[in-house]
Amino acid sequence: MKLFVLVIIITTCISRIVANTVPNNKPLVGPYEVKHTTVKVPGLYFDWDTVDVYYPVVNNNDLSSNVSIRFISFSHGAGGGLLLLPIVYKSLLTEIASWGFVIAAHESSFMGDTKIEYTQQLSVIKYARESAASGHPIFSLANFSYGVGVAGHSMGGQATLFCSEAENAKKYGINAAVMLHAWTKNENSPTPAIPFLAFTGTTDDVAAMSMTETFYNAASPTLPRGLVEKVGAPHQEPTDYEDKKEPYNPYLQQFVAAWFKIYLHVPTRTEVNWNELIFGNESNSLCNGGDYYNGSTTMKRCEVHHGGNVSNMNYGGKEEESESNLITSGTCNVQDFGAIGNNKTDDTYAIQTTIDLCHKKYPNLATVFFPGDVHGKVYRIFSSIALVSNTTLSIGANATIYSAQSPLKRGKPLTSRCGVSYWNTTAIFCGENISNSAIIGENVFTSIIDGGGWEGWWTDKNYGQGPRLYEPMWSENLILKDVSFIHSPSWTLHPQYCNNILVEHVQILNPRFTANTDGFDPDSSTNVVLRDSFIDTGDDGISIKSSNSSRNKHIQMPSRNIHIFNTTILSRNVCIGSATFGGIYDILIEDCIIGDDKGSSPWAIKYKSHRYFPGAMINHTFRRLKFGKISPNNYQQPDGGQAFIITLDYGEKKRNPPPPCPTMCPLFQNITFEDITIQGALQAGIIHGEPNDLLKGLRFHNITFVEKPTRGWHCQYVADDFIATNVSPMLKC
């Protein structure tokens, strides 16, 4: 993930003792109730596999919580592991979790071995991420799309330091760290490569301040970082030892939470200004009296850096004035920049100007707001809108962004700021090489992006020829939430060559008679989540692709790690392909509804890879699904009605025969269908490999048709490892 960088031009480094007055403010309290449980993580040191988990209690109706909650792996000190951990660190971990964090802390003790300690911390991250992808009720609360945080105390602080070096951070998706009184072997300490905040104190007689200063001073000057050296702060400042003389510091948790809120990029949903708490000048900020411990706010040294040059805080005084000393997050109203929203005026220029200037003013996180009103606001655009990094489009209730493009512009690039792949026209909302971009509505039913398909796109001549509604390319960390995407001239949501995508609680609605208006088409993209959504379109509801090229450049980038759940699809089907050129790996689709009982879907699940540009399809699971009545219809598929279609010859009837296998053949391997109920279908399914390209590792378990299909299964060219258990009607291959 790209770091948010704010360069502050201050060259004087201040290191002195300044005594501040006792603050009037009390410790901040997080909005969530917190529960504690334990899980077992196999393979931890000495077979002590217990991990304590502190997590926020989330209201099931709070659809915003899954965007906001993040994961932290915590590592304890040498004397705070095993059964002591939930006693020693109870206050700290509970209070941090109350801000919306799932925290997992391994109990396994490491007996002074640094390598064992940090590998335990990494193992917990791996386990949590995999468990979340499989629907674990606690770990799935956290949004892993923006990476995870690591924190640790004492020798656990050293473990956190090792987790923060470049190789581990990249491999495990670690994007922020906090070290609390870290005990380190200075000669072996790595250099942090991610934003980190380090606490130490003058009365720490276990981990000398020089230990923290060594790795702090070694960090890159462009890295966001902070050092807090408190006068009188002892080694056990973060702990709850009952017999210790030094009390626990209740202010510590709010600054730890703030650091993770900023660098795990959590949308602001409380009245707390996290940037101000860390980087500000007010009396409650970190270096200006906010970190109050045992009767004193005195600091020996306290400095925080956005990145770039030094950004010291002057402990109560004003910072040196500078044009670069900007507020790093804020909101801009498109109406303040000339947008009207009267469904007549061309608001394209005003909207693009708002996005660009707001991003320039608030480089850390800009929010561009589209207000609505009781009568409804409609902002008309006549060209593409280029999205930018670190920016959220916030669409108010009763607000619509309407694309008034017409087929007259077909084939013409509508902005030079975005790339194109299959078509010559840029998408309505496009972006290339962007990160941390979101489109979030206030009300999923009235916060609308309308692709303007009724502008003449939906004729036989123009089907599928219009612009896609949303198409970022070569981008990462994307969120779409609480918005209705409707009337797309072509594919609706098409992220291509992207990483870390979250789409949740959206509606995708296109008329069923409109061809090539797919709903959600992740293409050559990784780490994708779609959940809690509704899709009803004229073509594939979901089509997972891996495309061959972009503007004649052969790329063959795979799609991988895609999780779709709690979503209703009333469109033609959920499909894999037809583009499988770069491979499609590790797909989990669960707890979804496909089709209604009136026959909205002519197919339910379809594999449609062909042999002209073949690719691998490996490790896919479909489970706990409910199909409606799968029936042919005149507007989508007159020859449909199959619940399952798995073939490797898509499109070949229309072309010259491809080279015989095994010269050019798709690879189909380890695909599982289980716990699926189908109301009815014309035919149970068509399963057809090729004579020299068998379907391998294909498994069906607990497949039930409520109404017996008119025709059963057609199954041919399947490998000997095929398994079908409890399938009715019976499936034999």
- Please tell me whether residue 581 adopts helix, strand or coil conformation: coil
- The residue ranges of every structural domain in the chain are 34-273, 540-733
Q: How far apart are the first and last CA of the chain?
A: 47
Of 352, 550, 362, 383, residue with least CA distance to 452: 383
Confidence of residue 652 (pLDDT cuts 50, 70, 90): low
Closest CA to 395 of 377, 415, 418, 374: 377
Report which secondary-structure segment, H or E, holds 276. helix 274-279
Helix (H, G, I), strand (E, B) or coil at 213: helix
The letter for the amino acid at 82 is: L
pLDDT the model gives residue 9: 21
Lowest mean pLDDT among 166-180, 293-307, 431-445: 293-307
Cα separation values, 332 from 79, 269, 339, 623, Å: 50, 17, 12, 44
Given phi > 0 = left and psi -120 to 50 = alpha, else beta, which region is 528? beta
Contact 468, 518 (CB under 8 A): no
Q: CA 212 to CA 592: how far, in whole Å? A: 50
Contact, 733 vs 705, CB < 8 A?
Answer: no
What is the predicted pLDDT for the residue at 309? 30
pLDDT of residue 6: 26
Which range has the worst mean pLDDT, 57-66, 70-79, 91-100, 228-237? Answer: 57-66
Q: For residue 283, what pLDDT is reported?
A: 83
* DSSP code per residue over 17-30: -BPPPPPSPPPP--
Position of tokens 């149970």? 684
Determine the 3-state secondary structure of 529 from DSSP: strand
For the full predicted model, state whether its pTM sits above 0.85. Answer: no
Q: Cα–Cα distance between 210 and 198 in angstroms, integer?
A: 12
Distance (Å, whole) CA 479 – CA 63: 13
Share of residues in the chain with pLDDT > 70 (%): 83
DSSP labels, 453-520: GGGTT-STTTTTTS--SEEEES-EEEEEES-EEE--SS-SB--BS-EEEEEES-EEE--TT-TT--SB
Q: What is the pLDDT of residue 587?
A: 94
Give the whole-angstrom CA distance, residue 264 versus residue 146. 6
Q: DSSP per residue over 355-370, as a string?
A: HHHHHHH-SSEEEEEE
pLDDT band at 663 (very low <50, low <70, confident <90, very high): low
Separation of alpha carbons 64 and 439, rounded Å: 13
Q: 58: which residues sit within 8 A by CB, 6+ positions away?
A: 32, 65, 66, 69, 141
What average pLDDT does the chain have? 84
Greatest CA span in the chain, whole angstroms?
Answer: 84
Band the pLDDT of 232: cuts 50, 70, 90.
Answer: confident
Do the bridges between strand 476-481 and strand 499-504 make them parallel or antiparallel, or are there none, so unpaired?
parallel
Asked if residue 502 lies in contact with residue 532, where contact means CB atoms within 8 angstroms, the answer is no
pLDDT at 414: 65
Decide which of 515 and 592 is more confident: 592
Fold classification of 540-733 (topology level): Pectate Lyase C-like (2.160.20)
* Token code pair at residue 674: 């289980």
DSSP states of 30-94: -SS-EEEEEEE-TT-GGG--EEEEEEE---TT-TTHHHH-EEEEEE--TTS-GGGHHHHTHHHHH
Kindly state the tokens that stand for 732: 């034999």
**CA dihedral sign of residues 299, 305, 306, 309:** positive
**Res 119: pLDDT:** 87
The tokens 């057609």 sit on which residue? 714
Distance of CA 200 to the CA centre of its chain: 33
User: For residue range 453-506, what is the model confidence (pLDDT) as tens digits?
Assistant: 888 787 766 666 788 999 999 999 999 999 999 999 999 999 999 999 999 999
Q: What is the pLDDT of residue 113?
A: 53
d(CA 458, CA 105): 55
pLDDT category at 7 given cuts 50, 70, 90 is: very low
3-class secondary-structure state, position 608 = strand
pLDDT digits (tens, 9 = 90+) for 295-354: 677 888 998 887 533 333 222 222 232 333 334 568 899 999 999 999 999 999 999 999
Predicted pLDDT at 288: 85
Task: Using alpha carbons, list the distances in angstroms from residue 35 to 71, 95, 252, 428.
Answer: 15, 11, 20, 44
Q: To which H or E segment does residue 590 belong?
A: strand 584-590
Query: Is the pLDDT confidence value at 16 over 50?
Result: no
More confident: 390 or 660 = 390
**Which whole number is the average pLDDT over 209-225?**
86
Phi-psi region for residue 249, left (φ > 0), alpha (ψ -120 to 50) or beta?
A: beta
- Rounded CA separation 386/384 (Å): 6
Residue 412 pLDDT > 80, yes or no? no
Kindly report the number of other CB atoms within 10 A of residue 556's CB atom: 14
Most confident of 130-134, 287-291, 677-681: 677-681
Phi-psi region of 216 (alpha: psi -120 to 50; beta: other; left: phi over 0): alpha
Q: Is the distance from CB of 106 to CB of 33 less than 8 angstroms? A: no
**Closest Cα to residue 574, out of 588, 558, 559?**
588
Cβ neighbours for 562, distance < 8 A, ≥ 6 positions apart: 522, 525, 528, 529, 530, 544, 586, 587, 588
Please report how many Cα atoms fall inside a 13 Å half-sphere around the Cα of residue 142, on the Cβ side.
31
Q: Are 674 and 622 in contact (CB under 8 A)?
A: yes
**pLDDT single digits (tens) 515-547:** 889 999 999 999 999 999 999 998 999 999 998
Q: What is the mean pLDDT of residues 368-397?
A: 94
Assign 440 to helix, strand or coil.
Answer: strand
Candidates 101, 100, 97, 76; CA nearest to 88 is 76
76-85, 339-348, 351-360: the lowest-pLDDT one: 76-85
The residue ranking higher by pLDDT, 519 or 67, is 519
Task: Find which of 211-215, 242-246, 606-610 is predicted with most confidence, using mean pLDDT.
Answer: 211-215
Per-range mean pLDDT, top range of 56-60, 79-83, 507-511: 507-511
3-state secondary structure 296-335: ECCEEEEEEECCCCCCECCCCCCCCCCCCCCCCEEEEEHH
Q: How far is CA 649 from the centre of its chain?
A: 34
Structure tokens at 373: 């009103």
* Residue with the larger pLDDT of the pair 256 and 652: 256
Q: Which class is domain 34-273?
A: alpha beta
SS3 letters across 104-155: EEECCCCCCCHHHHHHHHHHHHHHHHHHHHCCCCCHHHCCHHHCEEEEEECH
